[in-house]
């Protein structure tokens, strides 16, 4: 049996209709297959330090720290942008529960929620805003698209709605607030600001898009067993524990590896020889690392590129990004680690304090980057997510199914090393 490609059922296009007018711009959902996600968790996604990456998704809440620059949000729960200062979502945002924009943050796409939406102070939303609850502008703020809410809309001092605004409840335009388009209100209008277009008392109906959470595939069935190892050049096969000491080194070649647990000591080096194909690692228990260095070769191990050198080589980066690790425990990436490829923890969570990842993170548990330091830089590279079967001959022939994952992340910023 080969597991089929992960996909999300595409949401229907919302009927953004108020009696007498229709929002001018059609909202189109982009990035709704798993292959588009940089980070996805069945539970919460929380990055206190800046996350620089692609599309972020969660079956619960998504929280990002100041300075984060991502390419879209899909959340079953709340979306919160913390802190004061720069940060952006350069794509569309759907947060089923609510959205809190964050001081100074910018959103280039649409923002939609079944609950309330807060337009960020000192920031803007470039697309349409559609809320099942209320829409509140902070002072100052701007929405460049249309605004539609089943509840109330409040356009406060120094805030601007550049197109139409519709509120099925109370529409409030405070002194110094500006609506450049038409205003429609189902309840009442309190206007001490400026409305350049028409003013219509009529029912307003908002139908924000709803994000349907992904159903992640079941964990791969396998059983590791064999000698415990501490590094060196390892052939593909089945082992006990891999425990690489401080500043130690382990070399993997193309093929499939099974381990009980993995501990990569501080300043350890993981060398990936991809000359003959991709590398996949399956771990029964936990994976722990910190300050991990990754080196990549495609010439039989004669030369190993540093992480930065591999990222600068598009062909080598694309190959390295196809690496895959599945752990049935937790993965703790520690501080300042590097990684190539997708990490899948179907039963538990994933944590990286800060580092550089060319690949993707997928978890059944929480995915965290709880740090105020340098943050996580995600680099999209690859052609999409796929699944292929594999067979491991040691300690016995096993008919195992694996998910070989390629994540494609568009890198926006990378720290030099």
Summarised one tens digit per residue, pLDDT across range 133-165 is 999 999 999 999 999 999 999 999 999 999 999
Q: Are residues 261 and 329 in the same domain?
A: yes
pLDDT band at residue 359, thresholds of 50, 70 and 90? confident
Average pLDDT, the chain: 83
| Number of folded domains that form the chain | 2
Give mean pLDDT, residues 397-406: 29
Q: Are residues 155 and 276 in the same domain?
A: no
Instruction: Identify the CA nearest to 212 among candidates 39, 49, 94.
Output: 94
Residues 6 or more apart in contact with residue 184 via CB below 8 angstroms: 18, 19, 20, 21, 164, 165, 166, 167, 171, 200, 201, 202, 204
Q: Is residue 110 part of a domain?
A: yes
Q: Are residues 262 and 367 in the same domain?
A: yes
Give mean pLDDT, residues 115-123: 97
Q: Are residues 302 and 398 in the same domain?
A: yes
Pick the last residue of a domain from 170, 205, 240.
205
Q: Is residue 124 part of a domain?
A: yes
CA distance 417 to 414: 9
Pairing of strands 93-95, 72-75: parallel
51 in Cβ contact with 65 (< 8 Å): yes
pLDDT at 271 over 90: yes
Pairing of strands 51-52, 21-22: unpaired
pLDDT band at residue 416, thresholds of 50, 70 and 90? very low
pLDDT at 261 over 80: yes
354 in Cβ contact with 369 (< 8 Å): yes
Q: Are residues 254 and 192 in the same domain?
A: no
Q: Is residue 44 part of a domain?
A: no
pLDDT band at residue 375, thresholds of 50, 70 and 90? low
Q: Are residues 249 and 384 in the same domain?
A: yes
Q: Is residue 354 part of a domain?
A: yes
Q: Are residues 149 and 191 in the same domain?
A: yes
Is 116 in a helix, a strand, or coil? Answer: coil
pLDDT of residue 379: 60
209 in Cβ contact with 226 (< 8 Å): no
Q: Are residues 247 and 173 in the same domain?
A: no
pLDDT band at residue 51, thresholds of 50, 70 and 90? confident
Q: Are residues 265 and 362 in the same domain?
A: yes
Q: Domain of 266? A: 232-402
Q: Is residue 40 part of a domain?
A: no
Radius of gyration of the chain (CA): 24
Q: Are residues 389 and 281 in the same domain?
A: yes
Give the residue ranges of DSSP H helices in 326-411: none
Give, in degrees to the nearest 5, the angle at Cα 328 between 322 and 329. 115
Is 173 in a helix, a strand, or coil? Answer: strand
pLDDT at 42 over 90: yes
Q: Is residue 336 part of a domain?
A: yes
Pick the last residue of a domain from 157, 186, 205.
205
CA 56 to chain centre: 2
Secondary structure (H, E, C), 49-108: CCEECCEEEECCCEEECCCCEECEEEECCEEEECCECCCEECCCEEECCEEECCECCEEC
pLDDT of residue 7: 25
pLDDT at 278 over 60: yes
Pick the last residue of a domain from 163, 189, 205.
205
Place of tokens 């979502």: 89
Q: Are residues 193 and 311 in the same domain?
A: no
Q: Are residues 364 and 311 in the same domain?
A: yes
pLDDT of residue 100: 94
Q: How far is CA 336 from CA 47, 50, 356, in A?
A: 15, 14, 7
370 in Cβ contact with 387 (< 8 Å): no
Q: Is residue 214 part of a domain?
A: no
Q: Is residue 268 part of a domain?
A: yes
């Amino acid at each position: 049996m080969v597991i089929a490609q992960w996909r999300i059922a595409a949401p229907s296009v919302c009927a953004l209709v108020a009696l007498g007018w229709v929002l001018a711009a059609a909202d189109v959902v982009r990035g709704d297959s798993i292959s588009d996600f940089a980070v996805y968790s069945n539970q919460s996604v929380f990055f206190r330090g800046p996350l620089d990456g692609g599309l972020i998704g969660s079956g619960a809440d998504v929280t990002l720290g100041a300075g984060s620059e991502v390419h879209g949000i899909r959340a079953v729960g709340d979306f919160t942008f913390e802190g004061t200062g720069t940060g952006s979502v350069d794509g569309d945002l759907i947060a089923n529960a609510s959205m809190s924009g964050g001081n100074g943050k910018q959103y280039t796409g649409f923002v939609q929620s079944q609950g309330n939406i807060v337009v960020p102070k000192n920031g803007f939303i470039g697309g349409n805003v559609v809320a099942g609850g209320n829409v509140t502008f902070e002072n100052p703020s701007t929405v460049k698209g249309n605004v539609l809410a089943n509840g109330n809309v409040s356009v406060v001092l120094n805030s601007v709605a550049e197109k139409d605004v519709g509120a099925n409840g109370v529409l409030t335009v405070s002194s110094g607030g500006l609506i450049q388009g038409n205003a429609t209100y189902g309840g009442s209008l309190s206007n001490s600001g400026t409305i350049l277009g028409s003013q219509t008392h009529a029912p307003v109906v908002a139908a924000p898009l709803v994000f349907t959470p992904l159903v992640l595939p079941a964990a791969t069935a396998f059983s590791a067993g064999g000698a415990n190892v501490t590094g060196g050049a390892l052939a593909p096969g089945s082992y006990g524990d891999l425990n690489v000491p401080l500043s130690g080194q382990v070399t993997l070649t193309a093929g499939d590896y099974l381990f009980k647990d993995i501990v990569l000591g501080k300043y350890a080096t993981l060398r990936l020889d991809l000359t003959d194909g991709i590398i996949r690692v399956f771990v029964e228990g936990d994976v722990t690392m910190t300050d991990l260095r990754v080196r990549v070769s495609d010439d039989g191990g004669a030369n190993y590129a540093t992480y930065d050198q591999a990222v600068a080589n598009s062909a080598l980066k694309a190959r390295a990004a196809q690496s895959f690790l599945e752990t049935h425990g937790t993965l703790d990436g520690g501080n300042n680690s590097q990684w190539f490829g997708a990490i899948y923890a179907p039963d538990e969570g994933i944590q990286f304090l800060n580092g550089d990842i060319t690949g993707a993170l997928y978890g059944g548990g929480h995915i965290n980057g709880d740090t105020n330091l340098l943050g996580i830089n995600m680099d999209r590279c690859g052609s999409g997510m796929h699944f292929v079967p594999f067979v491991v001959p040691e300690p016995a022939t096993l008919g195992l199914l694996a998910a070989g994952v390629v994540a494609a992340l568009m890198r926006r910023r990378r720290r030099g090393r």
